[in-house]
């Protein structure tokens, strides 16, 4: 029940909040979590268990529980322990089959439990014939929550963040660590997953005002420190190399912070562990810390008449806190025969609370429908065994379990901390921490409040020193625990079962035992076979007990058994937070706006957007492309080639560098001329091509493919460092705009804009000149990729638009027309010119592409030369040839396509690399790889179409168009 | 002999800089058309050449110095330099052919200046560098990536100068602007610099 205001509670009682659960209206306060508000309203059954649909209440109130998952509208699996209550929430339980959480029809599955043994999934799928049946059954019965596929896309920000010292956990040791680091001058960030700082210091009080005062003093220190930043309601979802930690907020729209710290202090505390006894999952059986949180944070008396099952001092404190809340504590049942917390025992006895030592709860007695607890059956407990012969039934309305802890060491494991099992505290603790990672408090095996403060100060000072603040001090002695805070065997092997080890997956003691008996006696295998640790809590309250059972049943120690792998994320992270805002920068040439205005249909080429073609009203894409190609063939066209890589090399070894990089010769290239250039890798595979132009004896300007520019520049930079030649390399790809003015009338158009002598003699084919075009300083190359007289004109990027406009204006009388990539591909195909990456693949050599003429094997060296020398002596496997297809009727059912296979004797003998319908030749033409025996002109090869039909094509030696290459020498 | 009207240079950001007028907490200024010059070389060539022309040289890579009157020189590597914002100096460099071991680098960058109360948050959401940890007295130059685009950044007390390949300029501007638009008040402005005196205050 809700109490009058409790000191330091988290509620704002002035602000009431109305909500509903399973259709019934309730009221809570601002500051309540969903779970606390429901418990305060007397709701004891919050959900149904995953497998047997058993009624479940609160267990941890620490964001671990499968029991407290809710659905609201399209949002599934809301974690009620952590999500703040909001006005108007309409909540339902996530795992019911009709009848609501109170009368869930799925509860009958519990009656079938004997037919659902451990490893049931694996066993069910063992018979192949039944696979479809089981698939349907499992799809119907499993899964939590309902996903709404119409959920709108959210754009969640991601943010980098930085600090000197990151403290994960705002409990007593974390706060002490933060204060120590801040005192040394470090920029400190505390990340705390709860709504307020304090951790266990807020609620593990044992009704002791002095403990509360210690925490209050720490909080004041934190608040006073200018260099401490606090992120509450955030958790560190994982640890990544170099101290990167994603910090995730509970709030749905808050940004995911990618925190980079110089030092990280893990003060994440520990997960309280349940005891294993029959019916330990009834509503009303909960961890003692959950009950303390309900009381101190939310002003709730969790139970009226609880029984405390304990094995440490924390349990005695819980009993005192419950007494302070007004509860009539039925008894304290201590698993141990003796203990060291005598003062606490005396305080408990002073409250007239009976204490039973060397005893255990062996069974919780259920109330009607298994929805409550009415009593606990208690028996003697010694040497890890309970005596069932003489059980005492103690009436109570719930059982608080305080039998031990497991360090919240997930981040430490992810940071590759070497852990060891410490028998003194029955817990895994860090043995060797990675550089810059520190641990303190419970996760470090330090549980006593005074010791935690010392441990925190030690870690904080050390972390600050690592981050470059303060001087390394003397070693600090942290007092050892006077008794173990955890019991090594808080487990009752009840003959009637239902003693749950994993609450997420309804895994009982016998399931673990049976799995081990079936041979799954390795902790990782056991986890997967039994599914323990695979539910929403990810084993936070089950792994330790599973480990203890495995150790005992196999005669090993916990250290020998070891732990499972703790992978990120620490808690489930929403897809919206993970995806966040993405950046995929798109590269645009300086002519992008011109293309858009002309109706460009865009094509992605690497990071670039290029015009595939320009849309024309009433025309199909192919008609537009053919019209653009016709303009080039019949007059003059203009294409943006600014995406080509544009590199420059200068220095006395520039020619030597290019000789080594490309397969052809460049030392003998005359100034003012250019030459085709092919680049290979060490294996002789062709990786790029372009044109090398010589501007001066020691100065070359050369182009690469659009997609190859960045990679080629990176590789050349590497070779530059390796070879130590006297050259300077510059990447001018983005600095120059470039266009190709092509067609028989290109010279006439250009002549209106430049004083350069454009005659064939003064500016021959493959010539390169510098001059002005429309008053813009330019580099001009006479190249013929599309097979017509043409010029590539390169100008500084800021003048790209001016150049384009000048050319379009100057060519208006000739009907100049912009053409896109598709028309260019068609035109070059008619000439048989290859495109690297389309007509080649990751195994293609220049020899396969008939580029023998370009490969100068007589050079002393070039990259790939050795491999090509070897390959040259071997029989060729494939050759690129031209193919001409028979004229197909316009209504042909199917036309040949790129990547259609060449078939020979029923086997794959090659493939089409490029294909198009040539309006000039009025038939389909292609480039294709075929077997070397089939390269003679007139050979007929079979092409398997996508439908499986076969079409015969004829081998042809390109060019398909203008075989004498006369067109690129003819201009008006 | 042809005679042409002087061609107009256009900023790589011309199509995006005016297209965004959303509120935000960051002021964007396009400085792409300020005079700029770059060079790089092998050995000590570039440094010696610039020194011979009377330019101050930052002592180490990733540092910058102001030029006399206006503008700056940034050292991007041992032998790579960027001179920005001083028309006289740039004209002098362009008129002086570099020695054989030095190559002129055509700088056609998109150049931005960002300022405003949301700047820190904008940088945190778009770049992995901890700018707050830099000592501005050391006049640092940061070569990094921002929204996935390679950038050169000079952080200042009240504004940051950013340069990137002009062909990535629009993408960088749009991404930064989209993030800035989602930041809380006060409103942002979209400006093009017309007054060279406002080019930078780094």
Option in B106, B124, B148 nearest A796 (CB): B106
**pLDDT at residue A303, rounded to an integer:** 98
A869: pLDDT strictly greater than 90: yes
Q: What is the mean pLDDT of residues A309-327?
A: 98
Q: How close A189 comes to chain B (CA, Å)?
A: 15
In degrees, rounded to 5, the angle at the alpha carbon of residue B129 between the alpha carbons of residues B123 and B133 is 95
Q: A739, A803 in Cβ contact below 8 A?
A: yes
Q: How close A775 comes to chain B (CA, Å)?
A: 6
Claim to verify: residue B188 and residue B116 sit in the same structural domain: yes
Q: Is some CB atom of chain B closer than 8 A to the CB atom of A338?
A: no
Q: Identify the band that residue A359 occupies on the pLDDT scale cut at 50, 70 and 90.
A: very high
Q: Is some CB atom of chain B closer than 8 A to the CB atom of A701?
A: no
Mean pLDDT is lowest, of A142-146, A382-386, A421-425, B54-58, for A142-146
Residue of B nearest to A801 (CA): B10
**pLDDT at residue A574, rounded to an integer:** 86
- Give CA–CA dist A801/A970, Å, rounded: 28
Q: Is A157 close to B40, i.e. CB distance below 8 A?
A: no
**pLDDT at residue A970, rounded to an integer:** 76
Q: What is the mean pLDDT of residues A925-948?
A: 95
Task: Kindly state whether residue B171 falls inside one of the protein's structural domains.
Answer: yes
Q: Identify the band that residue B185 occupies on the pLDDT scale cut at 50, 70 and 90.
A: low
The 3-state DSSP composition of chain A as helix, strand, coil percent (nearest 5) reads: 25, 30, 45
B200: pLDDT strictly greater than 60: no
Task: Kindly state whether residue B142 falls inside one of the protein's structural domains.
Answer: yes
Q: Identify the band that residue A701 occupies on the pLDDT scale cut at 50, 70 and 90.
A: very high
Q: What is the mean pLDDT of residues B48-73?
A: 96
B22: pLDDT strictly greater than 60: no
Task: Kindly state whether residue B184 falls inside one of the protein's structural domains.
Answer: yes
A710-728: pLDDT as tens digits: 999 999 999 999 999 999 9
Task: Kindly state whether residue B10 falls inside one of the protein's structural domains.
Answer: no
Looking at the 3D structure of chain B, how many domains does it have?
Answer: 2
Q: A548, A491 in Cβ contact below 8 A?
A: yes
Q: How many CB atoms lie within 10 A of CB A570?
A: 25
Domain positions in chain A = 1-145, 158-271+406-466, 274-403, 500-568, 591-642+736-836, 644-733, 875-972
The domain of B182 spans: 27-32+109-195
> For chain A, what's the residue count?
972
Q: Is some CB atom of chain A closer than 8 A to the CB atom of B48?
A: no
- E strand spans, A106-157: none
Q: Do A158-271+406-466 and A274-403 fold alike per CATH?
A: yes
Tokens of B17: 């800089």
Tokens of A33: 């979590």
The DSSP bridge pattern shows strands A285-287 and A398-402 to be parallel
Task: Kindly state whether residue B173 falls inside one of the protein's structural domains.
Answer: yes
Q: Identify the band that residue A99 occupies on the pLDDT scale cut at 50, 70 and 90.
A: confident
What are the φ/ψ torsions at residue A370 (nearest 5 degrees)?
65, 25
Q: Is some CB atom of chain A closer than 8 A to the CB atom of B124?
A: yes
Q: What contacts A719, CB < 8 A, 6 or more positions away?
A: A657, A660, A661, A863
Say if the ipTM goes beyond 0.90: yes
Q: Is some CB atom of chain A closer than 8 A to the CB atom of B95?
A: no
Residue whose C-alpha is closest to residue A815's, from A940, A955, A639, A631 = A631
Claim to verify: residue B191 and residue B141 sit in the same structural domain: yes
User: Which residue has 């050169």 as its token pair?
Assistant: B152
Task: Kindly state whether residue B11 falls inside one of the protein's structural domains.
Answer: no
Claim to verify: residue B83 and residue B127 sit in the same structural domain: no
| DSSP conformation class of A673 | B
Average pLDDT for chain B = 88
Q: Which of A189, A585, A656, A695 to mutate to test the interface with B (most CBs of B within 10 A)?
A: A585
Chain A, residues 480-499, CB within 8 A of chain B, namely none
**pLDDT at residue B201, rounded to an integer:** 28
| CATH code of domain A274-403 | 3.50.50.60
**pLDDT at residue B193, rounded to an integer:** 43
Q: Is B42 close to A728, i.e. CB distance below 8 A?
A: yes
B24: pLDDT strictly greater than 80: no
Q: Is some CB atom of chain B closer than 8 A to the CB atom of A798?
A: yes
| CATH code of domain A875-972 | 2.40.30.110
Claim to verify: residue B79 and residue B156 sit in the same structural domain: no
Q: Identify the band that residue B195 occupies on the pLDDT scale cut at 50, 70 and 90.
A: very low
Q: What is the CATH classification number for the domain harbouring B63?
A: 3.30.70
A139 vs A933, residue with greater confidence: A933
Q: Is B133 close to A753, i.e. CB distance below 8 A?
A: no
A519-567: pLDDT as tens digits: 999 999 999 999 999 999 999 999 999 999 999 999 999 999 999 988 9
Q: Identify the band that residue B19 occupies on the pLDDT scale cut at 50, 70 and 90.
A: low
Q: Is A797 close to B2, i.e. CB distance below 8 A?
A: no
Q: How far is CA A440 from the centre of its chain?
A: 29
- Give CA–CA dist A512/A523, Å, rounded: 11
Among B90, B105, B120, which residue terminates a domain? B105
**pLDDT at residue B197, rounded to an integer:** 32
Tokens of B28: 């964007």
The per-residue b/e assignment along A448-478, b for 16 or more CB within 10 angstroms, e otherwise, is: bbebbbbbbbbbbbbbbbbbebbeeeeeeeb
The 3-state DSSP composition of chain B as helix, strand, coil percent (nearest 5) reads: 25, 30, 45
Which CATH topology does A591-642+736-836 take? Gyrase A; domain 2 (3.30.1360)
**pLDDT at residue B18, rounded to an integer:** 64
CB contacts, 8 Å: B32 with chain A: 798
Q: What is the mean pLDDT of residues A848-864?
A: 97
User: Which residue has 């890798």 as its token pair?
Assistant: A681
Which of helix, strand or coil describes residue A34? helix
Q: Is B100 close to A753, i.e. CB distance below 8 A?
A: no
- Give CA–CA dist A797/A734, Å, rounded: 7
> For chain B, what's the residue count?
202
- Does the domain spanning A500-568 belong to CATH 1.10.10? yes
Task: Kindly state whether residue B15 falls inside one of the protein's structural domains.
Answer: no
**pLDDT at residue B187, rounded to an integer:** 44
Which CATH topology does A158-271+406-466 take? FAD/NAD(P)-binding domain (3.50.50)
Using a pLDDT cut of 70, give the percent of chain A over it.
Answer: 100
Claim to verify: residue B77 and residue B113 sit in the same structural domain: no
Option in A260, A585, A799 nearest B130 (CB): A260
Q: What is the CATH classification number for the domain harbouring B124?
A: 3.30.1360.120
Q: What is the mean pLDDT of residues A37-48?
A: 97
Option in B6, B11, B124 nearest A775 (CB): B6
B138-147: pLDDT as tens digits: 999 999 999 9
Claim to verify: residue B82 and residue B129 sit in the same structural domain: no
Q: Is some CB atom of chain A closer than 8 A to the CB atom of B107?
A: yes
A334: pLDDT strictly greater than 80: yes
Average pLDDT for chain A = 95
Q: What is the mean pLDDT of residues B85-99?
A: 95
Residue of A nearest to B178 (CA): A581
Q: What contacts A595, CB < 8 A, 6 or more positions away?
A: A611, A614, A640, A818
Q: Identify the band that residue A800 occupies on the pLDDT scale cut at 50, 70 and 90.
A: very high
**pLDDT at residue A152, rounded to an integer:** 80
Claim to verify: residue B71 and residue B149 sit in the same structural domain: no
Q: What is the mean pLDDT of residues A437-455?
A: 98
A872-921: pLDDT as tens digits: 999 999 999 999 999 887 777 889 999 999 999 999 999 999 999 999 88
A98: left (phi over 0), alpha (psi -120 to 50) or beta: left
A76: pLDDT strictly greater than 80: yes
Option in B7, B10, B166 nearest A775 (CB): B7
**pLDDT at residue A473, rounded to an integer:** 82
In degrees, rounded to 5, the angle at the alpha carbon of residue A151 between the alpha carbons of residues A149 and A154 is 135
CB contacts, 8 Å: B179 with chain A: 157, 581
Report yes or no on whether pTM surpasses 0.90. Answer: no
A629-660: pLDDT as tens digits: 999 999 999 999 999 999 999 999 999 999 99
Q: Is some CB atom of chain B closer than 8 A to the CB atom of A229?
A: no
Size of interface A-B (CB pairs under 8 A): 136
Q: Identify the band that residue A72 occupies on the pLDDT scale cut at 50, 70 and 90.
A: very high
Architecture of the domain whose range is A1-145: Roll (3.10)
Q: Is some CB atom of chain A closer than 8 A to the CB atom of B40?
A: yes
Among B105, B136, B157, which residue terminates a domain? B105
Tokens of B15: 């199509």
Q: A427, A405 in Cβ contact below 8 A?
A: yes
Residue whose C-alpha is closest to residue A424's, from A410, A444, A445 = A445
- Does the domain spanning A644-733 belong to CATH 3.30.70.1400? yes
Q: Is some CB atom of chain B closer than 8 A to the CB atom of A777?
A: no
Task: Kindly state whether residue B5 falls inside one of the protein's structural domains.
Answer: no
What are the φ/ψ torsions at residue A353 (nearest 5 degrees)?
-100, 120
Which of helix, strand or coil describes residue A479? coil
Which of helix, strand or coil describes residue A654? helix
Q: Identify the band that residue B1 occupies on the pLDDT scale cut at 50, 70 and 90.
A: low
Q: Please report, to the nearest 10 degrees, the dihedral formed by the alpha carbons of residues A718, A724, A728, A730 taken in order.
A: 0
């Amino acid at each position: 029940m809700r109490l009058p205001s409790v000191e330091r509670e988290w509620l704002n009682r002035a602000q009431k909040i109305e909500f509903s659960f399973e259709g019934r209206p309730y009221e809570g306060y601002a500051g309540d979590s969903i779970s606390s508000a429901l418990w305060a309203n007397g709701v004891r059954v919050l959900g149904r268990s995953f497998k047997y649909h058993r009624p479940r209440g609160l267990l941890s109130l620490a964001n671990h529980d499968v029991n407290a998952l809710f659905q609201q509208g399209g949002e599934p699996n809301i974690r009620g322990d952590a999500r703040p209550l909001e006005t108007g929430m309409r909540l339902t339980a996530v795992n019911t089959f009709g009848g609501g959480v109170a009368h869930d029809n799925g509860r009958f599955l519990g009656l079938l439990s004997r037919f659902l043994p451990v490893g049931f999934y694996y066993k069910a799928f063992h018979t192949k014939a039944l696979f479809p049946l089981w698939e349907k059954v499992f799809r119907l019965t499993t899964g939590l929550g309902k996903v709404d596929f119409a959920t709108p896309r959210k754009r969640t920000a991601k943010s980098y963040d930085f600090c000197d010292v990151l403290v994960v956990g705002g409990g007593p040791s974390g706060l002490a660590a933060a204060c120590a680091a801040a005192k040394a001058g470090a920029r400190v960030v505390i990340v705390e997953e709860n709504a307020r700082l304090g951790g266990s210091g807020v609620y593990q009080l044992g009704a002791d005002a002095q403990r509360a005062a210690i925490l209050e003093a720490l909080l004041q220190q934190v608040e006073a420190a200018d260099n401490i930043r606090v992120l509450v309601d955030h958790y560190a979802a994982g640890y990544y190399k170099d101290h990167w930690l994603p910090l995730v907020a509970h709030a749905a729209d808050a940004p995911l912070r990618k925190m980079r710290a110089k030092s990280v202090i893990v003060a994440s505390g520990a997960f309280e562990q349940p005891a294993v006894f029959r019916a330990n999952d009834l509503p009303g059986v909960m961890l003692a810390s959950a009950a303390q949180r309900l009381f101190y944070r939310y002003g709730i008396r969790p139970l009226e008449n609880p029984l405390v099952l304990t094995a440490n001092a924390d349990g005695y404190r819980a009993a005192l806190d419950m007494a302070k809340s007004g509860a009539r504590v039925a008894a304290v049942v201590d698993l141990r025969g003796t203990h060291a917390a005598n003062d606490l025992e005396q305080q408990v006895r002073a409250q007239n609370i009976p204490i039973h030592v060397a005893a255990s709860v062996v069974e919780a007695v259920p109330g009607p429908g298994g929805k409550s607890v009415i009593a606990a059956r208690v028996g003697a407990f010694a040497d890890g065994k309970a005596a069932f012969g003489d059980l005492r039934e103690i009436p109570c309305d719930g059982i608080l379990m305080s039998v031990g802890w497991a360090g919240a060491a997930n981040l430490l494991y992810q940071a590759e901390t070497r852990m060891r099992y410490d028998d003194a505290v029955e817990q895994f603790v860090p043995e060797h921490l990675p550089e810059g990672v520190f641990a303190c408090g419970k996760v470090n095996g330090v549980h006593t409040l005074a010791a935690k403060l010392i441990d925190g100060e030690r870690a904080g000072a050390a972390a600050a020193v690592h981050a470059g603040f303060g001087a390394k001090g003397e070693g600090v002695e942290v007092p050892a625990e006077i008794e173990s805070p955890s019991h090594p065997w808080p487990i009752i092997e009840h003959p009637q079962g239902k003693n749950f080890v994993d609450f997420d997956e309804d895994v009982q003691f016998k399931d673990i035992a049976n799995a081990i008996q079936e041979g799954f006696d390795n902790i990782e295998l056991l986890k997967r076979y039994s599914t323990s640790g695979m539910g929403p809590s990810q084993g936070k309250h089950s792994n330790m007990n599973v480990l203890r059972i495995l150790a005992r049943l196999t005669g090993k120690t916990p250290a020998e058994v070891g732990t499972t792998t703790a992978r990120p994320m620490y808690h489930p992270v929403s897809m919206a937070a993970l995806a966040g805002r993405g950046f995929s920068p798109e590269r645009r040439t300086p002519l992008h706006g011109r293309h858009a205005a002309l109706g460009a249909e865009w094509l992605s080429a690497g990071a670039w957007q290029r015009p595939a073609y320009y849309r024309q009203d009433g025309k199909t894409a192919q008609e537009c492309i053919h019209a653009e190609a016709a303009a080039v063939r019949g007059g003059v066209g203009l294409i943006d080639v600014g995406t080509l890589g544009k590199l420059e090399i200068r220095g006395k070894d520039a020619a030597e560098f290019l000789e080594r990089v490309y397969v052809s010769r460049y030392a003998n290239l005359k100034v003012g001329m250019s030459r085709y250039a092919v680049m290979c890798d060490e294996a002789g595979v062709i990786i790029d091509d372009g044109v090398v132009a010589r501007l001066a004896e020691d100065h070359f300007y050369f182009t690469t493919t659009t997609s190859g520019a960045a990679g080629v520049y990176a590789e050349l930079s590497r070779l530059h460092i390796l070879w130590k030649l006297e050259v300077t390399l510059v990447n001018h790809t983005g600095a120059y705009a470039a266009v190709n003015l092509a067609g028989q009338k290109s010279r006439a158009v250009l002549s209106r804009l430049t004083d350069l002598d454009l005659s064939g003699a003064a500016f021959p084919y493959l010539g390169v000149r510098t001059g002005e075009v429309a008053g813009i300083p330019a580099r001009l190359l006479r190249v013929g990729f599309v097979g017509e007289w043409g010029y590539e004109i390169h100008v500084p990027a800021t003048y790209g638009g001016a150049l384009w406009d000048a050319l379009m204006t100057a060519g208006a009388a000739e009907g100049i027309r912009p053409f896109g990539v598709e028309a260019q591909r068609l035109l070059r195909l008619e000439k048989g010119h290859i495109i690297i990456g389309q007509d080649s693949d990751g195994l293609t050599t220049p020899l396969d592409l008939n580029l023998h003429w370009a490969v100068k094997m007589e050079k002393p060296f070039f990259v790939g030369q050795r491999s090509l020398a070897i390959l040259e002596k071997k029989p060729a496997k494939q050759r690129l040839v031209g193919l001409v297809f028979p004229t197909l009727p316009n209504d042909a059912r199917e036309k040949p396509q790129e990547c259609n296979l060449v078939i020979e004797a029923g086997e794959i003998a090659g493939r089409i690399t490029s294909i198009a319908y040539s309006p000039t030749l009025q038939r389909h033409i292609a480039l294709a790889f075929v077997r070397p025996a089939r390269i003679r002109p007139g050979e007929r090869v079979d092409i398997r179409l996508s439908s499986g039909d076969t079409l015969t094509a004829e081998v042809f030696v390109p060019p398909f168009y203008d075989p004498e290459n006369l067109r690129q020498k003819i201009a008006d | 002999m042809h005679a042409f009207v002087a061609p107009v240079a256009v900023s790589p950001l011309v199509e995006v800089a005016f297209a965004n007028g959303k509120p935000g907490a960051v002021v964007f200024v396009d400085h792409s058309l300020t005079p700029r010059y770059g060079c790089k070389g092998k050995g000590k060539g570039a440094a010696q050449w610039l020194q011979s022309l009377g330019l101050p040289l930052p002592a180490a890579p990733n540092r910058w110095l102001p030029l006399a009157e206006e503008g700056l020189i940034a050292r991007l590597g041992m032998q790579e330099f960027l001179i920005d914002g001083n028309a006289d100096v740039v004209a002098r460099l362009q008129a002086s052919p570099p020695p054989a071991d030095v190559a002129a680098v055509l700088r056609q960058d998109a150049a931005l200046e960002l300022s405003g109360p949301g700047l820190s948050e904008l940088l945190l959401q778009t770049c992995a560098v901890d700018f707050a940890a830099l000592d501005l007295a050391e006049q640092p130059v940061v070569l990094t990536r921002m929204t996935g685009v390679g950038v050169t950044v000079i952080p200042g007390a009240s504004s940051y100068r950013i340069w990137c390949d002009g062909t990535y300029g629009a993408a960088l501007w749009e991404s930064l602007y989209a993030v800035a638009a989602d930041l809380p008040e006060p409103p942002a402005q979209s400006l093009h610099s017309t007054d060279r005196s406002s080019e930078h205050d780094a």
